Chain A
């Protein structure tokens, strides 16, 4: 088992959780990555995140295989004009394994974590961490749903929590 862990503490920008610990552990298997996120030690809900559909072409060719680095310079400006916005978060399918299926917030958090793995962590890490099917992430996330319920009416605090969580996950792999 390939195992990573991280221990952090919430800062003052998350008042309701300030000072409480955040423990993250990730175990990489060949077919799945198990992520356990404990806020104040607790965790109660489990979500499974898989890639939906075929991977978009631009993601496959984001890094050219060899030689020319994409389009010529003079054409670049034109290209920018026609660039379409992609909603990367709709590429993921979130399955509630255990938890409140009416909670619309946690699936968003899970897709953000999946997108972090798909675009940053897995492409940069050793091949052994990616497992057999690098065609798409397959995550199993167990987290503390209470952590997201405390500041129901303040989306800024939720955003701060999410940024801290994603930063922590990234940091876990830097060490």
Chain B
């Protein structure tokens, strides 16, 4: 039972003047059927990135979320598909929200536990975030999907 790790940096194409790259380190199981092996995503929101040296930019750890498919679920529509818990919490709602959503979606889609760690290159408040949540979520899901197919 082995795992593999993939790196990627995503950049928004729609708003070039304000594009902030997000670096992702993803660890996924090689055997896609292994439902006990978690997917882990470590994200780095690189605001004020000033050099191009890859994966060497110090960042501050903000939030860590764990989501797991609910295996005790009955078929009632009210039951949750995924249960999750913040392992390290933050007071920044934007980060909390996006990380939780990514973890829940990955856990639900691939039926595996998922860890999401979020970090920033610079401490930020809600007003400094210029990136669209949907874009981040979509890019993350596309990235995970692309590596899960290989």
Contact = CB atoms under 8 A, between A and B. Distances in A.
A28 B64 CA distance: 14
Interface string B37-74: 11010101000000000011111110010100000000
B5 interface: yes
B119 interface: yes
Contact of B66 (A7, A46, A48): A46
Pick from B3, B5, B29, B64 the residue with the most CB of A within 10 Å. B3
B36 interface: yes
A143 to B, nearest CB: 12
A31 B2 contact: no
A32 B42 CA distance: 13
A97 B88 contact: yes
Contacts of A93: none
B66 A30 contact: no
A21 B29 CA distance: 12
A142 B65 CA distance: 12
Interface residues of B, number: 32
A48 B119 CA distance: 17
Contacts of A32: 61, 88
Given A31-B60, A34-B64, A25 B5 contact: yes
Contacts of A46: 64, 66, 87
Contact of B36 (A28, A30, A42): A42
A34 B1 contact: no
B34 interface: yes
A98 interface: yes
B23 interface: yes
A174 interface: no
Contacts of A21: 1-3
A50 interface: no
A27 B117 contact: yes
8 closest residue pairs by CB, A with B: A29-B61, A41-B37, A41-B1, A32-B61, A97-B87, A40-B1, A1-B44, A46-B87
Interface of B: 1-3, 5, 7, 23, 25, 27, 29, 34, 36-38, 40, 42, 44, 55-61, 64, 66, 85, 87-88, 113, 115, 117, 119
11 contacts: A1-B44, A1-B57, A2-B55, A25-B27, A29-B58, A31-B60, A40-B37, A41-B2, A128-B58, A131-B58, A142-B40
